[in-house]
Amino acid sequence: MITIIHGDDTLGSYQRLGKLIAEAKNKNLEVVQRDAGEINATTLRQETSATDLFGTSTCLVIKNLLGSLKSKSKEGLISALQKLSQAEILLYEPKKMSETTLKQLPQAKIETINLNPLIFKFLDSLRPGNTRIIFRGWDQLLELGHQPEYILVMVVRQVRLLIQAKSGPSYLKLSAYPKRLVISQANYFTLNHLLDLHRELYKTDKRLKTGLSALPLEQLLLQFFCLI
């Protein structure tokens, strides 16, 4: 069975991959992870047909195959995958794939992990003088089950986009509509303010990773929102 995990929620899709890997291990499958550049049609057949001395089957994880550049190796891999029906294979793509790309493996189970629109609404609300709306959005995200770690990652990404927009719109690698939104949002800030916010986020992340903070991440983020 082939399962494709993709979507514009990179963190969420990676967490889903981790869950599926854990499930495979619970089924006593040996999990083998490969980047698409490390495998070809021949090694694919070897990896999916091999069992160890105890008869343990393999769950093969292939990353960055469908989204990689066109090549004979890629075409050979996809062709070989089309002929597999019994092997346990997880294809992980860190971004959203087009319908045309996904149709290359019609037998695959597709799991699309997209960002909840509410997270975009929350990120758009991050601007000076909007603390009440920010806190309301924060509470809604927590009620929907979003982890503070996930929100931190998204806030860091947004602040970096705002810094790029303030430094020069040409730095933004976004499609037209979200680019306009980020540029408009950046107008509420000075570049120094955004750099200060980025510095605070860096300190928060460092405190968490080094265990130097006595406060939980939820409290640290609330303190950060007050700085906006």
Q: Per residue in 48-75, pLDDT tens?
A: 775 555 555 889 999 999 998 888 888 8
Q: What average pLDDT does this structure show over 131-157?
A: 92
Q: Please state at what angle helix 217-227 crosses helix 131-143, rounded to 10 degrees.
A: 160
Provide the 8-state DSSP code for 171.
G
**Position 12 pLDDT exceeds 90:** no
Task: Produce one character per residue of 4-32: b if its CB has 16 or more CB atoms within 10 Å, e if not.
Answer: bbbbebbbbbebbbeebbeebeeeebbee
The structure tokens 């980025």 sit at: 198
pLDDT digits (tens, 9 = 90+) for 100-127: 999 999 999 999 998 888 999 999 999 9
pTM over 0.75: no
Domains, the chain, with CATH or none: 2-112 (3.40.50.300), 117-227 (1.20.272.10)
> In 10 A of CB 158, how many CB atoms?
19
Top pLDDT among 70 and 35 is at 35
Q: What average pLDDT does this structure show over 1-15?
A: 90
